[in-house]
Structure 1
Amino acid sequence: MKSKYQGYTFPLRDSVQREKVHFHNRYGIPLVGDLYLPRDRAGVLAAVAVAGPFGAVKEQCAGLYAEELASRGFAALAFDPSFIGESGGEVRNVASPDINTEDFSAAVDYLSTRDFIDPEKIGILGICGWGGMALNAASMDTRIKATVTSTMYDMTRVNARGYFDAADNADARYETKKALNAQRTADYKNGSYARAGGVVDPLPEDAPFFVKDYYAYYKTERGYAERSLNSNDGWNVTSALSFLTMPILRYSNEIRSAVLMIHGEKAHSCYFSRGAFAGMIKDNPYAENKELLILPGAVHTDLYDQKEIIPFDKIQQFFLTYLK
C-alpha cells in the first residue's frame, strides 16, 4: 500500500511550505523533522513542536497537525522521536519514557535557534502516547510556554496497569516482567529483536471497537505510512519494559505553563486524559491556565485526522493566548 500524497497521509496546501530539518537531542541521537511554515510570513513567528501518536511517524498525524498550524501562521515542527521513522538511535523500534520526553526538549532547542522564531514563544503538541510525553516535557522544560495534548495516552499507566487498570496488581506486573525478561534473553541469543506486530491484520470479527478504530486508520489508505510501526511490524516486544517502573507524570502538578488537554468522549482512552488532568491540577497553584476539553461523540482516532472534529480553532486561540 502506498500513501496518497508522496509518502504523507494528507495534502500540502499551497499556502504552506515544508522543509526537512535535522537536529539532535542531548544524548546525541540525531532527529529528523518536517518544518512547516506559512509561505507568506513576516517577522518572527511563534512555534509549536508536534509528535505522535505512539507508533506513528511524522508523515501521519503529527504532520497533519503541523501543516494546519502553519496555515494559521505558526512555525510547526513535526518530528520523528528517537529510534523510529527517519530519526536515529540504535536499537530501532524501541521507546523510552526518558529519551522520548527529551526529544520534545530537543525540538525546543532547535526551534529556539532559528532566527525567524521567537524563542519566548514556543509550545508543544503531543498526540496519543506522545501526549503523555508532552506533559512530562512541560513539567521539566520551563522554555515550553504552552502545551496541547490530543487523545492522550499515558504509556506508563497502560503498560504498568493494563487497559482500564485491569491488571493493576503486583502479581500481574510480575508476570509481565517475567515474560519480557525471558524475551530479552531470547533476543540476545538470537542477535535480533522480536517485534510485537503492529495493528492486527487481518482484523478478527470479534475485535473490540478500539482495535477496529486503529485498523481503520493505520491499515487503510486513510492513515497507512511505510515507516509507521503501527502500520507494519510494531515495536520491539521488550520496548515496554522501562514503562513498567518509570511513571512519567509524577510532577505534572508542578507545571506552571498553560495546558490544553483534548479528548473524545467516546474514546476508549478518555480515562487517561481525565486522570492526568485531575493529577495535574491537584494542589497546583497554577491550575487556572489548565483546561480539559471533552468532545461529545468523538472516538480515539477521530482526533488523528478528522478535521471537522479536531478543534483547530480552539488550539489556535490557545497558542495565540499563551505564546505571547
Structure 2
Amino acid sequence: MIIARFSKLLIGRLALSILTLVAVSAVVFTATLYLPGDPARAALGAKADPAAVEALRVEFGLDRPAFSQYVSWATGVVSGDFGKSIPSGRPVWEMIRPKAINTVILTASSLLLLIPLSFLLGIAAAIWKDRFPDHIITVPTIVLVALPEFVVGTVLIVVFAVGLHLLPPVSLIQGNRTLLSQSTLFFLPVVTLLCTTLAQVVRMVRAVAIEVLSAEYVYMARLRGLGSGRVLIRHVFPNVVTPSIQTIALNAAWLAGGVVVTEAVFQLPGIGSAFADAVINRDMPTVLAVTLLITATYVLINLISEILIMFLNPRLRAQHAVL
C-alpha cells in the first residue's frame, strides 16, 4: 500500500515537473522571439544581402508562425535534438556540451564540499553557542551572506592570484588538454560558489541544531549516560538532516543557475558564458537549450529533495500512507 501511494505521488511530481519545463520553455521562447532585432540579420551582419538574410530565415524556420516554431523545437527536444545554432549552423548540443561539462564539474565540486562543511560548521556552532568557536563561524557567514559572487571572486583573485601568485586569475580552459591537468583553474571558482552558498546553509543548520540540542529527548539521552558523540550521532544529526535538506536543495538548485556570474568573473567557458553569448547573438535555439538544462536541473534537485525528506521523516511517510 505504501509503495503504491508513493508511486502515485512520484508520478504526480513528475507530471508537475514536465509541466514546469514546458511552461518555462514557452515563456523563454516567447521572450526571445520578441526581442528587438532579427536573428538572421544578427548572424549575417547589418550589411548582409536581404536575399541571404531571407534564405537563412527560411532555413531555420524563422519565417513560420511562432507556435509552429515552438512545436517544431519541442518535438526535436523530445527526440534529443536541440536544433542548430543560428550564427554557426552547428548542432546546439555539440556546441554547449564541453561548456556544460565544465559547469557540471564546477557545481558538483562545490556541492560535494558544501554538504559536509555545512553540517560540520553548523553543528559545531550550535554546540558552542555564544562562545568563541560560534563567533568564529557565524561572523564570517554573516559577512558572506551580504556579499555577491563577483565581490567574493574579485577578492579571491586579488589575494591568491595577484598577491600570493598561487593560482591563475582566470580559468581559461584549453580544449586540447585534459580537465584533470587543468584542475587548478577550477579552484577559485569553486571556492567562490562555496563561500556564497555555504554561509546560508551553515546558518540554517546552526538554527536547527540549537533547537534539537535543547529538545527533551536529547536531555533524557544525556541523563541515561550517553556520551556526547553518541548523542550527536544518534539523536542530533538525524534530526538536523531532514529540515536542512530543503535549504541545501535550494542552494544546489541555485548553483545550477547561479554560476553565470562566477563564470563571467573567472572567464570560465561554461554554460553561463554560452547563455550570455546566445542572448547577445539572438541565438534562440541555444538560449532555449541552456534554459531547459538549467530548469531541468532545478526541477530534478527539488524532486530528489522531496523524496529524501519523505523517506527520512516517518511522520510524512505515515501521512502519505494514510492519504
Q: Normalization by structure 2: what TM-score?
A: 0.22
Higher fraction of strand:
1
Higher Cα radius of gyration? 2
Q: Normalization by structure 1: what TM-score?
A: 0.22
Higher relative contact order (CA 8 A, sep 6+): 2
